A and B are shown apart, each in its own frame.
Chain A
Amino acid sequence: MKRSGKPGTVLAASLVALALFTSYVAFDTFVIPRAYAKTTAQVQAEGTEAEDGEQDTETAAYTAEDTEAVNPSSLDGVSAVSAKTYSDGNVSITVTTCTWQDTTLYVADVTVSSADALKTALADGTYGKNVTETTSDIADEVNAILAVNGDFYGARDLGYVIRNGVLYRDSASSGQEDLVIYADGSFSVISEDEVMAQELLDAGAQQVLSFGPGLVENGEISVTEDEEVGKAMASNPRTAIGILSDNHYVFVVADGRTSESAGFSLYELAEFMQSLGCTTAYNLDGGGSSTMVFCGEVVNQPTTNGSTIKERKVSDIIYVG
């Protein structure tokens, strides 16, 4: 029986095809940008109005000073390091740098006169895949007073995306918990298995963030210490948002992966958000994405590898402006 060279040739060709396809998948996943839609110019232009300094204080029936800001240093084991504030007639923000359980935290207490001040923005004003910018760049483009990274929707093909009242993606991800921010500024955590994106939009949802999980619901911690999520149990940089009462929010960013700041597990993050008094709190994209920008400056130490302090480019932000 003679040996044929054809099987060897076919094998070589098959493996080359595998290598080429794998290379394409890698490029498609991480490199090739795909722009699907542009955000409405009006949304981006709202930031330019603020730049002109035209704060409409006369119509504000509520002033930010009416609400008592949270004081993280009053919590057990929390040591406040510094605090910065911003206040005008519509927005009052206090950013407190503190430490808790070997982790450096940045707690932004936000009170607004209108829920309209709580917005989201997309990198390059574009909804797409591999369309990214740093949180600080996006914040600068929309003149955000305070901004944190969002849910990095661009890294996934599934999960609802509703930003500033516009539905961009209605593909549900099984078991996915989303944060819904309604036009009146209220929060709720929903499951994409139970409600469609259009239904949320019809119900008045302005923002839907799809990362999760929900940390605190109805004032109670909604994650377990044994939750079987790969990203949950390890200590990492984290970003979270919570609501304390009407028009009173808190943004929290925790540094991690460094010798100075270990980071949080999801349960520890939930504990902290509950201790602040959040009725609803939600976990956003963490790791190297965790970034807080306040008055044009990055206030935390964003890092991906734990050794280089550098912002990661992200798909989107949530901001006050």
Chain B
Amino acid sequence: MEKIYEEQENYIEEHQDMEWRTEKKGDGRIRTDREPAMNFSLIWKKKAVRYLAASILTLVFSLVYEHFSFGVTSAFLLSAFLVPLAGAVLCRALAKASFDPSWSSVFLTTGIAWLTIGALLQGMLAIYGTENALMMVYPAMGIFFLLLTVASLIVH
């Protein structure tokens, strides 16, 4: 039976390539389904665009925050945009491969989020002149999820 995904245009676009899946039943019947295969390359490219947009937003936020901080600067705040930018570059590289993005992208997004938010918050705390020992959690979680990303890519 052919499955039709009329409501999810993006899903159809991402699943342009159709492939046959054949299953032999115990009673001798052969069941053949056509299922759309995922266009992994397109998925990674879209994620790269989203990370690039996040990088730009992060940079704008950082510049605006610094503008109103009476000349006090923070390297963390100004460099936070590099994290999602690195994610965008990685996604573009992965678009050329055939990695299943489902779990890899989850881990990658989570890791980038922890590192980016951590850098922004660390910068804001530094500008205010305070600190918090809990900030160690951000790089730890970010690195943890990036390692999971690498592991999931290797597995696939």
Q: How many residues on chain A are close to B (CB under 8 Å)?
A: 34
Partner of B38, one of A1, A26, A158, A257: A1
Q: Which of B4-39 contact A (CB under 8 A)?
A: 11, 35, 37-38
Residue B82 CB within 8 A of the other chain: no
Q: Which of A14, A230, A306 contacts B106 (CB under 8 A)? A: A14
Bound CA–CA A287/B71 (angstroms): 11
Interface membership of B72, Cβ < 8 A: yes
B125 within 8 A of A: yes
Question: How far, in whole Å, are A25 and B124 apart by their CA atoms in the complex?
Answer: 12
Kindly report which residue of chain A lies nearest to residue B5, judged by CB atoms: A3
Chain B 97-129 against A: per-residue CB contact (8 Å), 1 yes, 0 no? 000101101100110011001000100011111
| Residue among A231, A233, A234 facing the most chain B CB atoms (10 A cut-off) | A231
Q: Is the CB of A234 within 8 A of B113?
A: no
Complex CA–CA separation, A29 to B121 (angstroms): 11
- Least Cβ–Cβ distance between B122 and chain A, in angstroms: 10
Name the residue of chain A whose CB is nearest to the CB of B130. A155
Q: Chain B: how many interface residues by the 8 Å CB criterion? A: 34
A18 close to chain B: CB less than 8 A: yes
* CB-based contact A234/B70 at 8 Å: yes
| Contact digits for A2-13, partner B, Cβ 8 Å, 1 yes 0 no | 111001101100
Q: How far is the CA of A263 from the CA of B132 in the complex (A)?
A: 29
Contact of A28 among B127, B134, B141 (CB under 8 A): B134
Q: How many A-B residue pairs have CB under 8 A?
A: 77
Instruction: Please determine whether B102 and A4 come into contact, CB atoms closer than 8 angstroms.
Output: yes
Interface assignment of B74: CB less than 8 Å from any CB of chain A: yes
Q: Mark B71-104, 1 if CB is under 8 A from A, else 0.
A: 1111000000000000000000000000010110
Contacts of A24 in B (CB 8 A): 134
List chain A residues, Cβ under 8 A from B100: 1
The answer to whether A7 and B129 have CB atoms under 8 Å apart is no
Q: Is A106 an interface residue (CB 8 A)?
A: no
Cβ–Cβ < 8 Å partners of A157 in chain B:
131-133
Q: How far is the CB of B85 from chain A (nearest CB, A)?
A: 19
- A230-B74 in contact given A7-B103, A14-B110 (Cβ < 8 Å): yes
> Within A184-238, which residues are at the interface with B (CB < 8 Å)?
230-231, 233-236
Q: Quick check: is B60 within 8 A (CB to CB) of the other chain?
A: no
The yes or no answer to B135 lying at the interface (CB within 8 A) is yes
Selected contact of B73 from candidates A3, A11, A230, A257, CB within 8 Å: A230
List, in ascending order, chain A residues with CB within 8 A of B109's CB.
Answer: 11, 14-15
A285 at the interface (CB under 8 A from B): yes
- Flag if B110 contacts A231 (CB, 8 Å): no
Q: Which B residues are CB-close (under 8 A) to A86?
A: none
Shortest beta-carbon distance from B55 to chain A in Å: 17
> Is B57 among interface residues, defined by CB-CB distance under 8 A?
no
Question: Does B106 lie within 8 Å of A7, measured CB to CB?
Answer: yes
Whether A230 lies near B110 (C-beta < 8 A) is no
The answer to whether A234 touches B110 (Cβ under 8 A) is no
- List of B residues within 8 angstroms of A152 by Cβ: 129
* CA of A4 to CA of B100, assembled, Å: 12
Is the beta-carbon distance between B72 and A29 smaller than 8 angstroms? no
A71 to chain B, nearest CB (A): 31
- Bound-state CA distance A210–B90 (Å) is 43
Answer yes or no: B137 CB below 8 A from chain A CBs. yes
Given A25-B134, A155-B129, A235-B71, 19 more A-B residue pairs with CB atoms under 8 Å apart are A3-B38, A7-B103, A11-B106, A11-B110, A15-B109, A15-B113, A18-B117, A22-B117, A29-B130, A155-B131, A156-B130, A156-B131, A157-B133, A230-B72, A230-B74, A231-B72, A234-B70, A234-B72, A236-B71
Using a CB–CB cutoff of 8 Å, the interface residues on chain A facing chain B are 1-4, 7-8, 10-11, 14-15, 18, 21-22, 24-26, 28-30, 152, 155-158, 230-231, 233-236, 257, 285, 287, 306
- What are 17 pairs between A and B in contact, CB < 8 Å? A3-B11, A3-B38, A7-B102, A14-B109, A15-B109, A22-B121, A29-B125, A29-B130, A155-B128, A155-B129, A157-B133, A230-B74, A230-B127, A234-B70, A236-B70, A287-B70, A306-B70
